[in-house]
Every structure is written in structure tokens, then in C-alpha cells.
Amino acid sequence: MRKKFGLGVLFIFAMVVGFGGTSALAGVTAKLTSAPNVPPAIKRGADTVVINLEAKEYVGELAKGVKYGFWSFGGTVPGPMARLRVGDSIEFHLSNAKSNTQPHNIDIHAVNGPGGGAAFTTVDPGKEKVFTFKAKAAGLFIYHCAAGAIVDHISNGMYGLVLVEPEGGLPKVDKEFYVMQSEFFASDPENGVAAFDIQKGLDEHPTHVVFNGNATGLQGGNALKAKVGDTIRIFFGNIGPNSISSFHIIGEIFDKVYTEGGFGGAVGKNIQTTLVPSAGATAVEFKVDAPGTYALVDHSIYRVAKGAIGHLVVEGAENPKVIRQGK
């Protein structure tokens, strides 16, 4: 009888605290996606959500023939995108890879509190920090590292987007994409690898201005893809760290612009180009009426020469009522 009682207590205890140290009361684990992919729309009520994110330093390609020493969240630049809903309680776990050389933390612009979470998350290599916050406002928010010399961490690639959906979610669309613009201030390579050049940053002279962490991040096999008739939503962030983006798609007009990433306020309509401040974001929606290749650009046009151009490839039937050659 005593043996049966002991097994019952063990089972109840396991259900409460969870096996392997994971709390059964922790709610749901957030699905994180790498750009240009977006997590699926939320179909639940407010909950407790666990986010696990790791800071990783690595060498990767910035442009053709240019290797760069990136600092990142999740091993990608930009870092993964998270999708929450207003009212969620978020249990945020930030770990710092043991192989890293720097302490890191995170400032999430969706957080109300000291440093946007940075005050609680500065973590040394091989360690983890946890903090909890309430998602009080719906919107599209930047997150970035704010440890030590903050310019080093941002300029090297430590940023991403968090979407907090309003109650009831966002209107359904056919395609959603995650795009982020950033400037890099690359030094001359040492041992084949470029690094952050602080003087170029101070002079505000970026060597590269790119989408999704690479001069070809939205080109070739990385181009966005859609079909004629699709309604598309792009979640667009601009980390800067210095410049405002003049986001434009050549051959399209934005049917809706959620200015500076806010949901619930006025929505801009029939917008040709929208300004996105440094460390800001926006969401744009549009319907594609004709097939072809559309260019996403920062219309501060000399930045295109530095890499601020990507492609949306649309397939489908021609639409001569909308556009055609000749009369």
C-alpha cells in the first residue's frame, strides 16, 4: 500500500514540475522562425509563453567575397522572429553560447520595464538568464542586444523582431514575410574576416546596407515568392543603427501601412514609400496584380549600391487590364 502511495505522489509531482526540469505549468513554447519566414498566426487566448534564445558569435558571409565576424541571436542575422498576443506572460530565457567571447543581453521594445529586459539578462558565456514580462501593447517591436558598448553588439548583428498580435489577431492574408534592414561598418579583412570598424560607425559611413543580413539576402534563391492575386503582408524592421529607411517596392503601392508598427491606431492607405526609423518597424500589406519580379529597396537610392535591394518574384497569368505593353 505504501509503495502504491509513493508512486502516486511521484506521478503527481512529475505532472506539476515536469520531467527533465521543464514546468508543466509553463504554458506554450514560442515557435521562432528565421527570416524571411514568419511564425503562424495565433489561435489561442492569452497564455504563459516560454521563449528560448541563444546568443551566438560566428563567421559568415556579408556579401560576395566578404566574410564577417557576426554576433547574433539564434545563429542568424537578423535573429529569429517571435509571435505573441497581447496579454501573454512571457518567460524569456537568454543563454550565451560557451564558445562566445562577450557577455550579451537583450532589450525588447515590447517590454515595459528597466532596459526592456536588459537589466535582468546580462549573461556571460556558458550561462543563462531568465526574466518574465507582460505583453501589454499590440505592435511590431524590435529587440536587440544592449550589453557593454551597445554599438558593437547592434552593429555586429544582434537584433530581430517580436510581433504582439492584438486581441482577435490580424486580418488574414495569403503570404507573410519577415524582412529587416541593417547597416554594417566593415573593416579591411584580417586573416580573411572583416570586423566592426568603430570609426566608420562614428562617421555614419556604412560599407554595406542589407536586407536579412546579407547583400543577397533577398535575391536569387532567397527571393520572396508569391502568386498573382495574393495579398501579402511584410513585417519590416530597420535596426539602423544610424539611418532611417525609405522602404519602397518598385511597381507596388502599399494598400495598408501600420505606421511604425502600431496596431489599433490609424492605418495609412495607398502609400508609395514609408519611413521606418532606426530601431523601428512597420507592417505593410498589398495585393499583387501582375506577374514579374518586384524590387524591394531603401529608396535613399545610393544604398541600393551598398546592398539594400531584394526581390519578390510573382508567378501567374498576365493581367492586361492592370498593365500591358502598347495600347
259 to 111, 162, 286: CA distances (angstroms) = 19, 16, 15
Q: Which of 16, 82, 95 is nearest to 49 (CA)?
A: 82
pLDDT of 1 > 80? The answer is no
Are 223 and 313 contacting, i.e. CB atoms less than 8 angstroms apart? Answer: yes
What confidence score (pLDDT) does residue 4 get?
Answer: 45
DSSP codes joined into one string, 69-104: EEEEETTBSS--BEEEETT-EEEEEEEE-TT-SS-B
pLDDT tens digits, 24-78: 445 899 999 999 999 999 999 989 999 999 999 999 999 999 999 999 999 999 9
Which of helix, strand or coil describes residue 294?
A: strand
Torsion of the alpha carbons at 288, 293, 299 and 303, rounded to the nearest 10: 150
Report the DSSP pairing between strands 280-287 and 254-258. Answer: antiparallel
Tell me the per-residue pLDDT of 52-64, one tens digit each, with 9 for 90 and over: 999 999 999 999 9
Q: What is the pLDDT of residues 120-168, one digit of tens each?
A: 999 999 999 999 999 999 999 999 999 999 999 999 999 999 999 999 9
Query: How many residues make up the chain in this entry?
Result: 327
pLDDT per residue as tens digits for the range 167-226: 999 999 999 999 999 999 999 999 999 999 999 999 999 999 999 999 999 999 999 999
pTM assigned to the model: 0.91
The model's pLDDT over 14-26, given as tens digits with 9 standing for 90+, comes to 333 333 334 444 5
Cross-sheet strand order for the sheet of 309-315? 224-227, 309-315, 292-298, 245-250, 273-276
Q: Which domains does the chain have, with CATH numbers?
A: 26-165 (2.60.40.420), 175-315 (2.60.40.420)
CB 254 within 8 A of CB 271: yes
